[in-house]
Amino acid sequence: MSLKIYINGHLFEKEEAKISVYDHGLLYGDGVFEGMRIYNGKVFRLEQHLERLWNSAKAIRLEVPLSPEELARDVVTTVRANGIDNGYIRLVVTRGVGTLGLDPNKCANPQIIIIADHIELYPQSFYDKGLEIVTVSTIRNHPAALSPRIKSLNYLNNILGKIEGQQAGCVEALMLNHQGQVAECTGDNIFLVSKRQLLTPPIDAGILEGITREAVIELAREAGLVVREVSLTKHDVYIADECFLTGSAAEIVPVVKVDSRIIGDGKPGPITRDLEKRFHELTRR
Ligand code: PXG
C-alpha cells in the first residue's frame, strides 16, 4: 500500500504529494521541522515536539497556520491513515510559495507537511558493539548566526559535518562550538559517564534541545544518577568512562571510540546499558 502524505489538511498518495519549486523551504531552507517516533501506535512526546516546533517557528518569525491542538490531531490522523504502529514522523512547515527574492513577506501560505513512514533503524551491530566517531573541523553554527536551538530546514552545517565524518569512515561525527567546547553530533546529542555522573553539554553550548536528551536526563535522575549539564572539552570525552548519543531515530547508541581513542574499556558501558533498558521500557511499555 502506498503512503498517504498530509499537505495542508489533505492526504495525498505519495506520488501525488508535491510542493512548489517556488516554495522558500526549497529555495532558501526557510522553514522548520520535527522528527518524531511512533511506538505501539502512540507518538512519543508529541506535545514536546510541537512546543519545539512552535519555538523554532517563532524564532524565524514564521506563523504556523494551525493551533498546536489542530496539528496534533492531524499528526495522529496521518499516522492512523497509514496504519503505522511503529515508525517515524517527519513534520515540516515551510515559508510557502514566494518570489525568487528572499522576502518572506511575499510568502502568504506556509505549507504544513506530515510524513508518517516506517523507520530505517541503525544496524543492530551499532548497539551491540558501539560506534566509532570523530571530531570534525566544521564547527556547529555560531548561535548568533543561526541558533542550533532552531530546528530549521537549513541543515547544511550538520550535513557538512556528516560528510567529514563519513570521509573518516564514521556514521556520526562530533561537532565543537565556536569556543572549542563539545556541542553535539550532526543529528544526535552526546552524553558522557564520568565517575558515575552523567555529563552532557548545556543548551547554551549551542545545541538542539533534544527530546531524547530530555527523556534520558529524566530516566538517569530516576535511576539515582547525578546529571550535570556542563561545558565539556574533547579532553573530557577522551577520559570518560562511557559515552553515548541520543536522538529520536538512534534512541541511545553507545560510542566506544572517539578520534581513534578508546573510551572506557572499549565496550558499551553498564550505565549506558542500564539507560538503554530504561528507555526501552519507557517507549515500549
Ligand atoms: N541534535 C541535532 C542537531 C539533531 O538534528 C538531535 C540532536 C536529537 O534530537 P531529538 O529531539 O531527536 O532527540 C537531532 C535530531 C538523522 C536526523 O537522520 C536527525 C535529526 C533530524 C533529522 C534527521 O539523523 N534530528
Burial class of residue 193 (count of CB atoms within 10 Å of its CB; 0-12, 13-18, 19+)? buried
Q: Whose CA is nearest to atom 3 of ligand 1?
A: 187
Residues with CB under 6 A from ligand 1: 35, 158, 184, 187-189, 208, 210-213, 246-249
Report which ligand 1 atom has the smallest distance to the Cα of 189.
Answer: 7
Q: Whose CA is nearest to atom 8 of ligand 1?
A: 247
**Catalytic-role residue among 14, 18, 42, 151:** 151
Report which ligand 1 atom has the smallest distance to the Cα of 158.
Answer: 3
Q: Whose CA is nearest to atom 15 of ligand 1?
A: 187
The rounded Å distance from CA 52 to ligand 1 centre is: 12
Picking from 208, 254, 201, 256, the residue whose alpha carbon sits closest to that of residue 227 is: 201
**Distances in whole angstroms, Cα of residue 156 to Cα of each of 83, 139, 148, 161, 186:** 33, 12, 12, 8, 10
Residue 151 is a catalytic residue: yes
41, 45, 47, 48 alpha-carbon torsion, rounded to 10°: -160
Picking from 196, 8, 193, the residue whose alpha carbon sits closest to that of residue 97 is: 8
Q: Whose CA is nearest to atom 14 of ligand 1?
A: 187
C-alpha cell at 75: 499528526
CB 9 within 8 A of CB 70: no
Q: Where are the beta strands (DSSP E) in 103-172?
A: 111-117, 131-135
CA 187 to chain centre: 5
Query: How far apart are the C-alpha atoms of 152 and 271, rounded to whole Å?
Result: 33
Q: Whose CA is nearest to atom 18 of ligand 1?
A: 187
Number of H helices, E strands in the chain: 8, 15
Which stretches of the chain drop beneath a pLDDT of 50? none
Give the CATH number of domain 124-284. Answer: 3.20.10.10
pTM of model > 0.85: yes
Q: Please tell me the predicted confidence (pLDDT) of residue 258.
A: 98
Query: How far apart are the C-alpha atoms of 26 and 20, rounded to whole Å?
Result: 8
| Residue ranges per structural domain of the chain | 4-117, 124-284
pLDDT digits (tens, 9 = 90+) for 41-86: 999 999 999 999 999 999 999 999 999 999 999 999 999 999 999 9
CATH number belonging to the domain at 4-117, selected among 3.30.1490.20, 3.40.50.920, 1.20.1260.10, 3.30.470.10: 3.30.470.10
Q: Please tell me the predicted confidence (pLDDT) of residue 90.
A: 98
DSSP assignment of 180-200, as one string? S-EEEESSSEEEEEETTEEEE
Report which ligand 1 atom has the smallest distance to the Cα of 211.
Answer: 11
Please choose from 248, 251, 253, 275 the residue to mutate so as to test ligand 1's pocket, defined by most ligand atoms within 8 A of CB: 248
